[in-house]
Chains A and B, each alone.
Chain A
Amino acid sequence: MNFLTLFARNLWHGPYTDVFPFGPATTPEHLRARITFDPKQCEGCRLCEKVCPAGAIRFTRTPGGMTFDCWHATCVFCGTCEFYCPTKAVKQSNDWHLAHEQGEKYAQVEHGLIPNQICVECGAKALDTSPAVSHIKPPLSETEVSELRARCPKCRNKYLRSRKTS
């Protein structure tokens, strides 16, 4: 390609520079950045907390249930948590807008609460976690999953055992 064609092409394309911060930024779809958490899907297995190499994830038992906290200022965007999460409740989004002023340093947290619930069978207080059903054969129907979810861990076991024998 001679320089005249290059010149014409560059005139046509305009500058290569990304317009950010004077306009919207281009972001790759699969960029690995800010962690997101969905308490509805979480099984409460705490695997993500265990595998996180930077110790960014912490679960805490509170009177209201169990809280999830991921501090973005120490997360290294490795994606290990998402890789090991059985339900993909913890995910990496492509949102990289994390720059903040010093005053907000400790507010850079992804927070979620897995609330307590009362078991419909025995009335015990237990966490409203998503049941681990991915490996169960034959697969559970949607009503079965919601029935299972409304129970405490012990009654979930009982429910599954009775399902097997029937």
Chain B
Amino acid sequence: MTFINKLKDFAVKSPWLYRINGGSCNGCDVELATTACIPRYDVERLGCQYCGSPRHADIVLITGPLTRRVLDAARRVYDEIPDPKVTVAVGVCPISGGIFRESYAVCAPIDQYFPVDVNVPGCPPRPQAIIEGVAKAIAIWRQRL
């Protein structure tokens, strides 16, 4: 599989992940933690690592339907992330609004506000699906570098 071979080449470099919670129900955040911390899934095999500051990030993972209250804060944090960055929408909430679609309190879909590159649908998506999405994001990130 050429995709896998490419991925192996890519894994020599290490993109850092940053997480923005746009008012998620925490389901997706638990899955993101699972993806990183549980040896069974272990996203660090792809050279990724979660970082605490947006200024160190390469790939930004956004969860939640972007509630009106969190919109400004999310935009400010997003602008602090240096370019080139790759944006991944995790869960159906940021992609379409999911179960909160058409609510007056949310600003979903988030692609109205952020340039999204990869979508990972699921409520919440399985850790392996998140890894698949991150792998796609790494491929995009390598092109942008």
Nearest-neighbour CB distance to chain B for A33, whole angstroms, equals: 7
* C-alpha spacing A27/B126, complex, angstroms: 10
Contacting residue for A101 out of B8, B42, B95, B117, CB 8 A: B117
Nearest-neighbour CB distance to chain A for B108, whole angstroms, equals: 10
* C-alpha spacing A96/B128, complex, angstroms: 9
Q: Given A99-B119, A99-B133, A100-B118, answer yes or no on A73-B7 (Cβ-Cβ < 8 Å).
A: no
| Residues of chain A with a CB closer than 8 A to B102's CB | 55
Q: Given A54-B101, A96-B126, answer yes or no on A72-B121 (Cβ-Cβ < 8 Å).
A: yes
* C-alpha spacing A17/B39, complex, angstroms: 6
User: Beta-carbon contacts of A50-84 to B below 8 Å, as 1s and 0s?
Assistant: 00011100000000000000011111111000000
Count of chain A to chain B residue pairs whose CB atoms are closer than 8 Å in the complex: 101
* C-alpha spacing A26/B14, complex, angstroms: 25
Q: Given A17-B45, A54-B101, answer yes or no on A101-B118 (Cβ-Cβ < 8 Å).
A: yes
* C-alpha spacing A102/B39, complex, angstroms: 29
Q: Which of B91-145 contact A (CB under 8 A)?
A: 92, 95-99, 101-102, 111, 116-123, 125-126, 128-133, 135-136, 140
Q: Given A76-B92, A77-B122, A101-B117, 19 other A-B contacts at CB below 8 A?
A: A17-B39, A18-B41, A20-B128, A22-B45, A25-B128, A54-B101, A72-B121, A73-B121, A74-B96, A74-B97, A77-B123, A96-B122, A98-B120, A98-B121, A99-B119, A99-B121, A99-B133, A100-B121, A102-B111
Q: Could you tell me which A residues sit within 8 Å of B by CB distance?
A: 15-18, 20-23, 25, 27, 31, 33, 53-55, 71-78, 96-102, 105, 108
